[in-house]
Structure 1
Amino acid sequence: MGQRMGMALVGLGAASQPHLRSLQDLAERIDLRYAVTRHPHQDRIRPYAGPVRVISALDEALQDPQVQAVIVATPPATHLAICQQCFAAGKHVLLEKPLELDLQRSAQLVEAAQQSGLHLGVVLQHRFREASVVLQQLLTQGRLGEVQAASVRVPWWRSQAYYNELGRGTLARDGGGVLLTQAIHTLNLFQALVGVQSVKAATVRQTRLHQMETEDHVSALLVLGNGAPGDLMATTAMYPGYPETIEVIGTLGSARLSGASLEVNFLTQETLTVTSEGGTGSGANMMDFSHQPHKDLLTDFIDAIASNRPPRVTGADALSTHALIDELLRMGSSPL
């Protein structure tokens, strides 16, 4: 076994839990040396079982020469400042989505990473689900033929209690609603699979199921990467919440990706399936999903650092998805 990579984790809210499980699984390769939180307490790092210092000052972790990379799992409004601090200290960054509150600040963050020469990875873990990887391979290999149409649906549920938590669904803390906070994972995967050239039409609204500052329902018509038609629906008002789906029609067959499961039917009558029994976080329990994609994403990130190659999900990838979200909001926004 080679030398373990020293890391620090910033933020110990709900988003940190799959990271902690992944870090525990990867303890032979990663030395989690610090957990940084405003309320330092050792109990907050469960389920990580190894020795780690829980501190309140990020500077202390950044001054440690054994720390090579930092996982940032704090609210979006904090990302730019924290990442700039990490890059200035010579640390690579794995950043929770979204990049930042708005497209301008997100672009500034990506530029800071590029200028530093350090690696910036983004936690858009749906790209690492087995079913997603298989579908990507089928499309890359041309086994579905030429894409004729594709659709993406995110029929999720969040209760009003979720939005009653301080800052939830606000521009000041989250930067947006269902698109930037929930659907961003599936939109990023959809872009990677079939590409999106532009938004032809969109409707953005707030349903009567929620009282919140930002949108909880979006529908749109899209132009895909090859010019074929696409459509989109994303919401957090579909009780009790259902798995997100991506459907692709090709000249040689069709594919349906539902959550972490895939069903492919070729015109030759051959079929292919990838099944998963795990949840997707689509309902009231937003953490109801396997941490395996997080673990695979983290593995790819440290491998990228070791071999000096870009991680699979880069800052530029995430910035492209943020730009698509901005276009959807611009095309469809009306008084909520």
Structure 2
Amino acid sequence: MKKIGVAIIGLGPASQPHSRSLLDLSDRVEVCWAASRSSERADAYAQQFPFRTTTDIEAAIDDPAVEAVLVLTPPSSHLEVSQRCLSAGKHVLVEKPLELTLERAERLVEAARTSGRRFGVVLQHRFRPASLRLRQALTSDELGTVQAAFLSVPWWRPQSYYDEPGRGTLARDGGGVLLTQAIHSLDLFRSLVGVSGVIAADVRTTDLHRMETEDYVAALLRLGNGAPGTLMTTTAAYPGYPERIEIIGTKGFASLIGGALRMSFLDGREETVEAEGKTGSGASIMDFPHDAHRAVIVDFIDAITEDRQPLVSGEEALASQRLVQTVLTSGTSSLQKASLSAAEPGPSATGAEAPQGMAR
């Protein structure tokens, strides 16, 4: 089997699980370049991995031996870097999220669509064994008709995380917990049960963090089949706990906690799928196995060789980012209304319980 030439662009923390995966896949890929504009990052990376490094990103992209590029740079550069790769005729696998804003994300997906190249997005939670089994149970009607579903992401990030330049800002990250941390779980949740609408949302920053964007989001959702859904995501839940998706069906109940699945069926059967490791829910953000990242890359390679779309295509990732934007927009409106209410005399002034939903 002919090996596919690959270049890695961006050698920050996100490059770690990808690089370990590429080492595992040495029988299928040839890493031609690992590139970063920072010589310090390139040097540090070279101490960990055997791939050839460079600070000349243009040369790495233009190398005729490179057929595919992993774009692992900050989200604010995804559009320009990916467009450059696509225009050079390269297939592209880009880290989440697609881009800082929905408008730039849409431009990126359109560029990929018209390029004729394969374009995938790293939303690896879909590739965990437990996630795959849960999807199978839903599509094969083992759980019956979905009646309700719940998504919870009770993660933790210390203030030192947000003290790093650009962390938690619109300029660098494009958003807070929903776009930066919870996007993986939200994407998996949406792909499993669908989301047709956002009924109400609350978006805010807790007193545990000093940051520009939100560290807490709650929402009431309408699922794809019209059933109710709820969402809660935060990076203020010390010390951080695995994300959880729970689904009530007419034939059983499924609970996906981190990478572990438990299904209880009304006929008395029980089924479990054990987790493969931690999920990076606490202060050690890269504390998770790279198995799912490897599966993403395998699917991307297969998409190139089989001339098909990757399982997480640009359109799929765009649908999840549109949902993020809808939730945030709904929550911002709700928070503004709550702030206006808080300025008016009310029961809280006498020590009585504040009205539900009032901003702090």
**TM-score normalised per structure 1:** 0.97
The correspondence of residues 182-221 of structure 1 with structure 2, limited to 5 A, is 182-221=181-220
Q: Deviations over 1:296-329 (max 9, x none)?
A: 1100000000000110101111101110010101
The correspondence of residues 35-184 of structure 1 with structure 2, limited to 5 A, is 35-40=34-39, 41-45=42-46, 47-49=48-50, 52-184=51-183
Separation in 2, partners of 1:164, 1:32: 34
Separation in 2, partners of 1:266, 1:279: 27
Separation in 2, partners of 1:271, 1:328: 35
Give 1:284's aligned residue.
283
Separation in 2, partners of 1:128, 1:170: 29
Structure 1 segments, 4+ long, off by >4 Å, are none
Q: For structure 2, list consecutive stretches of 5 or more residues without a partner in the other structure.
A: 337-358
Asked if the contact 1:155/1:237 (under 8 Å) is kept, the reply is: yes
Separation in 2, partners of 1:81, 1:218: 30
The correspondence of residues 317-328 of structure 1 with structure 2, limited to 5 A, is 317-328=316-327
Q: For structure 1, list consecutive stretches of 5 or more residues without a partner in the other structure.
A: none
**Aligned length, in residue pairs:** 333
Give 2:349's aligned residue.
none
Q: Deviations over 1:145-184 (max 9, x none)?
A: 0000000000000000000001000000000000000000
Separation in 2, partners of 1:195, 1:47: 40
> 2:189 is paired with a residue of what secondary structure?
helix
Separation in 2, partners of 1:277, 1:101: 31
Q: Could you say if the C-alpha distance between residues 45 and 227 of structure 1 is closer, same or farther in structure 2, counting changes exceeding 3 Å?
A: farther
Asked if the contact 2:276/2:289 (under 8 Å) is kept, the reply is: no
Q: Could you say if the C-alpha distance between residues 214 and 269 of structure 1 is closer, same or farther in structure 2, counting changes exceeding 3 Å?
A: same
Q: Deviations over 1:210-238 (max 9, x none)?
A: 00000000000000000000000000000
Give 2:293's aligned residue.
294
- The structure having more radius of gyration, on CA atoms, is 2
**TM-score normalised per structure 2:** 0.91
> 1:198 is paired with a residue of what secondary structure?
strand
Identity of aligned residues (%): 56
Separation in 2, partners of 1:8, 1:262: 35
Asked if the contact 1:12/1:45 (under 8 Å) is kept, the reply is: no
Asked if the contact 2:46/2:52 (under 8 Å) is kept, the reply is: no
Letter in 2 for 1:311: P
**1:3 offset after TM fit, Å?**
1.4
Does 2:296 correspond to 1:267?
A: no
> 1:311 is paired with a residue of what secondary structure?
coil
Across the aligned residues of Structure 1 and Structure 2, the Cα RMSD in angstroms comes to 1.0
> 2:182 is paired with a residue of what secondary structure?
helix
**1:63 offset after TM fit, Å?**
1.8
**1:42 offset after TM fit, Å?**
4.2
